[in-house]
Chain A
Amino acid sequence: MRLLFLLLILLCAASLMLGSKQMSIVALFDFSSDAWLTITASRIPRLIALLLTGVGLSVSGVILQHIVRNKFVEPATSGGLDAAKLGILVSLTMLPSASTSNKMLFAMLFCFAASLLFIFIISRVTFKNSVLIPVLGLMYGSVLSSIAEFYAYQHNILQSMQGWLLGDFSRVVQGQYELIYIILPIIVLAYLYAHRFTVMGMGEEMAASLGLRYAATAALGLILVSVTVAASVITIGAIPFVGLVIPNLVALKYGENLSRTLPIVALGGACLLLICDIFGRVIIYPFEVPIGLTAGGVGGVIFLMLIMRGVK
């Protein structure tokens, strides 16, 4: 775990130094210089957004996995991301001058409702093969997506919707991204409830035997997830796979006792996102590949390796 922390610090430093504007460390010491402006207005907010999103998404993934009791569930494979997209779309078309908090509210409500519906659908499926659930989730997500597309097509904003929904950190600029800070209290809450989430992951009957109010805990978990997903989609866009890959990798090595492994999951998420981001900024320097693509590619490949390895 200490190694992970060190890696994180290194990655943070690299992220700060990287960018289309060349900077020298010396220039940093002159507080009024251009370099300082770049750092504070764009690089540091970007770094913070990266860290919070990485942590938020991986923690959301692990909570969802404990609610649904399936290793392959995360916001992208349970309709959550697509529902948040739909929510933002609806808020935009119904209130054209929607403020960020309006969008946030809609996105969160849609995400929450869609996740509840998904859990209901899953609970009715008796054939609980572990791979069937994410497949159903992907189909469910595509139905939600087509609702969003239908809507967007009607209102002629399909093209732009595709644009601003793709996860992209280059949008993050001081004054535009503060919503993401909402993830901080979420993480604290998640950590406080970590033990309960593990008990919840044992199933309703075991939880009842141990005296945990299953429904209330699950609802709380869903709220935490919805808020995180909504905030990250609005600020940065959709980023798939992080919430799936990191918890599985951590579980392989450290088990699933959340009170112990939640910090590792959080760190892992931040590191993965940082790596993807740096990769995206380096590969076609000085332009960058949006994080939605790099995370989708890298995360997807890791996911495929996990499947091949036979993670059950």
Chain B
Amino acid sequence: MSQAVKIWTMLLLILLLALVFLLIGSGLDFDYLIPKRFMRLVTIVLGSVCLAVSSIVFQTIVGNRILSPSIMGYEAVYLLWQALLLLVMGTNGLMMLGVSGNFIVSIMLMLVYSWALHRLLLPRCKSDVFMLLLFGLVLTMVIGTVTQFIQLRISPGEFSVFQGLSYTSFNRSNPETVWYGVLAVATVLWVSRKTLPVLDVMALGREQSMSLGINHAKYVKLYLALIAILVAVSTSLIGPTAFMGVFIANIAYALAGSSKHKVTLPIGCAVSIAIFLIAQIFVEHVFNYKTSVSILVNLVCGIYFLALTVRTRGIT
């Protein structure tokens, strides 16, 4: 199957899924049900694009396919901020700030965190990216314990609000935040459009790309900043996604059959959208909300990913 055919097939599949998602069991209620679903659909698409692009680009820069930017600690910072907000100002605080306000502040915080990571950690772990990842994972757990500690101190009402925030969910956005998200993502994608060939070369590794004339350090900085924005938008829109980015990226590589980014990125987005749509459909109609998207995706994709690792002997 040629690349073009693949991409078109995927697009068709997604269109189909989207229609199913919108219309199934809705009784064609165009006044209330379908607009709500449409909002969720847009959130899914936006979140998926952010997730897929940030994961794939991050994996290229860093040279390994089991990493994902989400586990570098961004999501822990996001959750900590939500918990602190609840602790200090209660659920009223959340109201006052508003969904959009919260959205913007969260993004700012994650960008600051990204900058701190970049300045303090990256120089010390330059040769060993895995060290960076392990550091991020453990930092996530440590920040997580602080967050859990705060959870002990907040009231049950605040606690259930917080619980709602800590799972991936497509119900949290409103038109305003979606617009901000679209703006941010569109800007990022536009900026990086021209640099896709550079990404392909960077996949060869630091030394090779420098030998081919690419200013490696500069591009790493650029991409890390763009990734930070994407991760921030995705986390604020749909919540923490943990390892999902890794699973999605690897499924995309397996399907794409090529490592050129102009193929893997669109396929990655398509895979991501498809997975989330299917998961959400299952949650809504098959499981009747007795499970959640994170659980389903982590479960299914996680097992697939581990099986893939065993089969390919972890060669990355």
| Residue ranges of A at the interface with B (Cβ–Cβ < 8 Å) | 72, 120-121, 124-127, 129, 131-132, 134-136, 138-140, 142-143, 145-147, 149-150, 153-154, 166, 240, 289-290, 292-294, 296-297, 300-301, 303-304, 307-308, 310
Interface of B is mostly: helix
B105 contacts the other chain (Cβ, under 8 Å)? no
Q: Are A296 and B135 interface neighbours, CB within 8 A? A: no
Contact of A307 among B66, B135, B144 (CB under 8 A): B135
B173 contacts the other chain (Cβ, under 8 Å)? no
B295 contacts the other chain (Cβ, under 8 Å)? yes
Q: Are B310 and A297 interface neighbours, CB within 8 A? A: no
Looking at A72, A132, A143, A297, which has the most chain B CB atoms within 10 Å of its CB?
Answer: A143
Contact of B243 among A124, A129, A132, A142 (CB under 8 A): A142
Closest to A296 in B: B145
Count of residues in B whose CB is under 8 Å from the partner chain: 40
| Residue ranges of B at the interface with A (Cβ–Cβ < 8 Å) | 66, 124, 128, 130-131, 133-135, 137-139, 141-142, 144-146, 148-149, 152, 242-243, 246, 290-292, 294-296, 298-299, 302-303, 305-306, 309-310, 313-316
Give A267 Cβ to nearest chain B Cβ, in Å.
Answer: 24
Q: How far is the CA of A293 from the CA of B242 in the complex (A)?
A: 20
Q: Are A150 and B152 interface neighbours, CB within 8 A? A: no
17 A–B pairs (Cβ distance < 8 Å), ordered by A? A120-B310, A127-B313, A127-B316, A131-B131, A135-B137, A139-B302, A146-B298, A146-B302, A150-B291, A289-B152, A290-B152, A293-B149, A297-B149, A304-B139, A307-B134, A307-B135, A308-B135
Q: Are A139 and B243 interface neighbours, CB within 8 A? A: yes
Q: How far is the CA of A182 from the CA of B133 in the complex (A)?
A: 37
- A-B residue pair count with CB separations less than 8 angstroms: 111
- Residues from chain A with Cβ under 8 Å of B146 in the complex: 297
Q: Are A296 and B134 interface neighbours, CB within 8 A? A: no
Also in contact, A297 and B145, with CB within 8 A (given A125-B313, A140-B306): yes
Q: How far is the CA of A125 from the CA of B131 in the complex (A)?
A: 18
Give A246 Cβ to nearest chain B Cβ, in Å.
Answer: 16
Q: How far is the CA of A147 from the CA of B124 in the complex (A)?
A: 37
Q: How far is the CA of A289 from the CA of B144 in the complex (A)?
A: 14
